[in-house]
């Protein structure tokens, strides 16, 4: 279950009536989004993934679990961040189960790829390469290096069973490679953009390998869709605060397992809204660690931000005898004390998103909730929610320099 608290640590100069009055603007934004039919299939959860594909992915995941020690997922941006965020959130810190899941292709680090190739050289390996365009530099370069290493060890039939490609149905370099190898393929849905693809085959294959339930995540997403009030309120608040000069939103988590998920949250807002010199800069903290890095600034520095904190009510029972409390409640006391200190002493705003537990359903819920807020907020700002021309700019320049 996911609950929201927009009241306890709100801005003193924002009244609830103002937020409620915003509903009309958001209705209009939603209407425009649905009418435009641009990369919006993720809104129709049935179009994200069909029941047969769920079955197929679960079977493939079983196969992967039984046939490798290491499962390498190659992709960057929206092609991996959602899956990594959910897997890190829902699997143990110290893993004992096979296969080990390693995300690669999200940097140009020679050290990383060389060490990865050395590390997997004595292990059984299956890889999943994910790219909508099929041509993203980081993904393709790292894929080529790993593929070469695998070719030295496995024959063609074995390679066919050890490479899985998720890409466009009809075009792209990766599609050509998949056809040449004759390997298993998943389709990157045509009318869904990278960062909105977590709840499709893109995110679901790696998650299923980690033992995460696709159906529970979809159930959570459906609940978030039906329960429109929270994403309406949150979208309104963000827009109101932005217009009052709050240009930064800080996403605070108090469970370090959510750190990768904050990267996905930052991406969904930054790439969806940060254009035409507009948008709220999303940053994140992992607390209580970062209370000892950024905490001083947040309490007494420039007042340019508001905060959204994610609270988890119950993880595991660790009793602290000294206070006769469980560690979860001490963590929660820390979260509320920080929100109160920022609110009372700095007129700071903290929205709180409360999860009863870290589970598949709640992660599906959060993903859909943030996708809605990012999209509707983009319509309120008057920017194109579906593209990322700023990312394409750097991609073009790298290509130009490389081809000189």
At 392, list the tokens: 């394409």
Residue of 139, 262, 263, 343 interacting with ligand PA5 (CB under 6 A): 139
Which residues, at least 6 apart from 70, have a Cβ–Cβ distance to it below 8 Å? 99, 100, 101, 102, 119, 120, 123, 124, 125, 126
Nearer to ligand PA5, 139 or 309 (CB): 139
Whose CA is closest to 189, among 217, 208, 209, 170? 170
Q: Which candidate in 255, 271, 307, 311 is catalytic?
A: 271
Count of residues that interact with ligand PA5, criterion CB under 6 A? 15
Q: Which of 60, 79, 235, 309 binds ligand PA5 (CB under 6 A)?
A: 79
Site string for ligand PA5, 374-403 (x = CB under 6 A): --------------x--x------------
Would you call the peptide bond into 99 cis, given omega within 30 degrees of 0 as the criterion? yes
In order of 66, 256, 325, the CA distances from 93 in angstroms are 22, 10, 23
Catalytic site residue 395? yes
Q: Which is nearer to ligand PA5, 136 or 213 (CB)?
A: 136
Cβ nearer to ligand PA5, comparing 21 with 397: 397
Select from 70-78, 96-104, 241-249, 304-312 the region that touches ligand PA5 (CB under 6 A).
Answer: 70-78
Catalytic residue among 266, 325, 336, 395: 395
Supply 390's token pair. Answer: 């700023």
Q: Which residue is nearest to ligand PA5 (CB)?
A: 194
Choosing from 292, 400, 403, 404, the catalytic residue is 292
Q: How far is the CB of 76 from ligand PA5 (least distance, A)?
A: 5
* Per CB under 6 A, 178 contacts ligand PA5: no
Q: How far is the CB of 27 from ligand PA5 (least distance, A)?
A: 26
Of 244-283, binders to ligand PA5 (CB under 6 A) are 271
| Contacts by residues 8-12 (CB-CB < 8 Å, ≥ 24 positions apart) | 8/339, 8/352, 9/339, 9/340, 9/342, 9/343, 9/348, 9/349, 9/350, 9/351, 9/352, 10/237, 10/343, 10/349, 11/241, 11/244, 11/306, 11/347, 11/349, 12/347
What letters, b where the CB count within 10 A reaches 16 and e where it falls short, cover 50-62? eeebbebbbebbe
User: Binding string to ligand PA5 for residues 298 to 337, with x set by CB under 6 A, is what?
Assistant: ----------------------------------------
Look up 190 and say whether it is catalytic.
Answer: no
Q: Are 90 and 210 in contact (CB under 8 A)?
A: yes
**391/78 Cα distance (integer angstroms):** 12
Stretch that binds ligand PA5, among 52-60, 191-199, 258-266, 352-360 (CB under 6 A): 191-199
> Rounded CA gap, 364 and 369, in Å?
9
Element (H, E) at 283: strand 281-286
**Of the candidates 60, 136, 309, 362, which one interacts with ligand PA5 according to CB under 6 A?**
136
Give, for 374, the enclosing helix (H) or strand (E): helix 360-381
Q: Does 76 bind ligand PA5 (CB under 6 A)?
A: yes
Contacting ligand PA5 (CB under 6 A), which of 10, 30, 84, 132? 132
Nearest to residue 375, comparing CAs of 113, 52, 42, 77? 42
Q: Identify which of residues 68 and 372 has a Cβ nearer to ligand PA5 in the complex.
A: 372
Rounded Cα distance between 307 and 51, Å, is: 38
- Residue 213 as a binder of ligand PA5 (CB under 6 A): the answer is no
CB of 196 to ligand PA5, least distance (A): 7
Q: Is 351 in the site for ligand PA5 (CB under 6 A)?
A: no
Single out the residue of 60, 133, 200, 235 in contact with ligand PA5 (rule: CB under 6 A).
Answer: 133
| Binding residue (CB under 6 A) for ligand PA5 from 10, 30, 195, 275 | 195
Q: Which stretch binds ligand PA5 (CB under 6 A): 50-58, 127-135, 304-312, 377-385?
A: 127-135
Provide, rounded to whole angstroms, the least separation between the CB of residue 193 and ligand PA5.
5
- 349 and 343 Cβ atoms separated by less than 8 Å: yes
Structure-token pair, residue 168: 């466009």
Instruction: Please answer whether residues 257 and 314 qualify as being in contact, where contact means their C-beta atoms are separated by less than 8 angstroms.
Output: no
Task: Please give the Cα distance from 45 to 33 (Å, whole number).
Answer: 15
- Asked whether position 78 contacts ligand PA5 by CB under 6 A, the answer is yes
From candidates 82, 85, 99, 194, binder to ligand PA5 by CB under 6 A: 194
Give φ, ψ of 225 to 5 degrees: -70, -45
If we measure between CA atoms, which residue out of 204, 210, 209, 147 comes closest to residue 180? 147
Q: What six digits make up the tokens of 149?
A: 């290493």
Instruction: From 156-164, 190-198, 230-238, 255-263, give the range in contact with ligand PA5 by CB under 6 A.
Output: 190-198
Binding site for ligand PA5 (CB under 6 A): 76-79, 131-133, 136, 139, 193-195, 271, 388, 391
Catalytic residues: 271, 292, 395
């Amino acid at each position: 279950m996911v609950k929201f608290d927009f009241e306890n640590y709100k801005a003193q100069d924002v009244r609830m009536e103002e937020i409620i009055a915003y509903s009309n603007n958001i209705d209009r934004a939603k209407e425009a989004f649905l009418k435009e039919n641009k990369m919006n299939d993720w809104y129709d959860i049935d179009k994200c993934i069909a029941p047969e594909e769920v079955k197929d992915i679960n079977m493939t995941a079983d196969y992967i679990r039984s046939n490798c020690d290491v499962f390498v997922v190659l992709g960057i941006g929206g092609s991996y961040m959602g899956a990594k965020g959910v897997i890190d959130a829902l699997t143990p810190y110290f893993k004992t189960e096979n296969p080990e899941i390693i995300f690669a292709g999200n940097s140009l680090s020679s050290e990383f790829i060389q060490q990865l190739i050395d590390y997997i050289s004595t292990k059984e390996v299956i890889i999943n390469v994910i790219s909508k365009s099929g041509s993203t530099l980081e993904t393709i370069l790292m894929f080529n290096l790993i593929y070469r290493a695998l070719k030295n060890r496995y024959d063609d039939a074995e390679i066919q069973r050890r490479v899985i490609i998720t890409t466009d149905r009809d075009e792209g370099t990766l599609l050509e490679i998949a056809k040449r190898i004759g390997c298993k393929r998943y389709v990157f849905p045509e009318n869904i953009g990278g960062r909105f693809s977590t709840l499709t085959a893109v995110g679901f294959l790696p998650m299923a390998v980690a033992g995460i339930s696709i159906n529970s995540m979809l159930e959570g997403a459906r609940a978030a869709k039906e329960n429109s009030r929270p994403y309406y309120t949150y979208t309104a608040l963000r827009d109101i605060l932005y217009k009052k000069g709050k240009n930064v939103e800080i996403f605070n988590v108090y469970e370090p397992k959510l750190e990768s998920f904050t990267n996905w949250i930052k991406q969904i807002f930054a790439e969806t809204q940060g254009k035409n010199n507009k948008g709220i800069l999303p940053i994140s903290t992992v607390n209580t660690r970062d209370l000892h890095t950024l905490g001083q600034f947040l309490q007494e520095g420039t007042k340019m931000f508001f905060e959204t904190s994610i609270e988890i009510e119950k993880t595991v029972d660790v009793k602290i005898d000294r206070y006769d409390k469980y560690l979860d409640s001490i963590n929660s006391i820390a979260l509320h004390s920080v929100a109160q200190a920022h609110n009372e002493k700095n007129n700071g705003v903290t929205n709180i998103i409360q999860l009863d537990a870290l589970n598949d359903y709640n992660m599906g819920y959060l993903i859909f909730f943030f996708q809605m807020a990012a999209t509707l907020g983009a319509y309120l700002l008057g920017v194109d929610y579906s593209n990322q021309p700023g990312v394409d700019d750097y991609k073009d320049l790298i290509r130009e320099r490389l081809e000189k």
